[in-house]
């Protein structure tokens, strides 16, 4: 399924000219920490075409870097092909790099993808060290996380990211 991509400069013009609406598909804590003015929050895990089926403008989707936005666009298009949906290339990071303003709460927040990377890295290191110093059977723990990374890389689906998105600090 082809998702239409839009550069941040074009997206900003569409928003400025009231030709589009902006939807943030990041998690609530990410949105609360930093957001593009006027963006509506519809997290990837709960976004539905029913939420936006009456919109007659272009629908711009953004996340942190573009991946979740792309997934949200695929989901929306699968549910309703009549929607005029675009993924903002590079997400809010590209928006900021282009010099466009964002509203910030001042709270520091570790993005979900980095939380997942940190969790996997610490877990693999811990299991590897336990396997080396305590019992070789602990190596299976490291293999478990390696298998999870492989599945995430092949399918684009990461169970740990889904689980961590539901954690209280990400709400």
Q: List, by residue number, the catalytic residues.
A: 63
End-to-end, the C-alpha distance of the chain in Å comes to 30
128 burial (CB, 10 Å; 0-12 / 13-18 / 19+) is middle
Q: What are phi and psi of 143, to 5 degrees?
A: -65, -35
Quick one: which of 79, 71, 30 has its CA closest to 51?
79
If DSSP codes are grouped into helix, strand and coil, which group holds residue 40?
Answer: strand
């Amino acid at each position: 399924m082809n998702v239409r991509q839009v550069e941040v400069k074009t997206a900003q013009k569409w928003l400025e000219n009231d030709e589009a609406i902006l939807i943030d598909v990041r998690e609530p804590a990410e949105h609360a920490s930093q957001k593009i003015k006027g963006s509506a929050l519809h997290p990837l895990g709960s976004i539905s075409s029913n939420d936006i089926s009456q919109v007659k403008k272009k629908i711009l989707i953004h996340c942190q870097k573009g991946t979740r936005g792309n997934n949200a666009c695929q989901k929306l298009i699968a549910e309703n092909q009549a929607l005029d949906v675009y993924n903002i290339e590079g997400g809010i990071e590209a928006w900021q790099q282009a010099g466009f303003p964002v509203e910030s709460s001042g709270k520091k927040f570790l993005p979900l993808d980095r939380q997942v990377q940190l969790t996997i890295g610490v877990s693999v290191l811990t299991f590897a060290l336990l396997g080396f110093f305590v019992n070789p059977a602990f190596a299976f723990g490291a293999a478990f996380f390696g298998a999870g990374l492989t599945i995430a890389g092949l399918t684009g689906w990461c169970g740990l990211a889904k689980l961590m998105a539901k954690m209280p600090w990400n709400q």
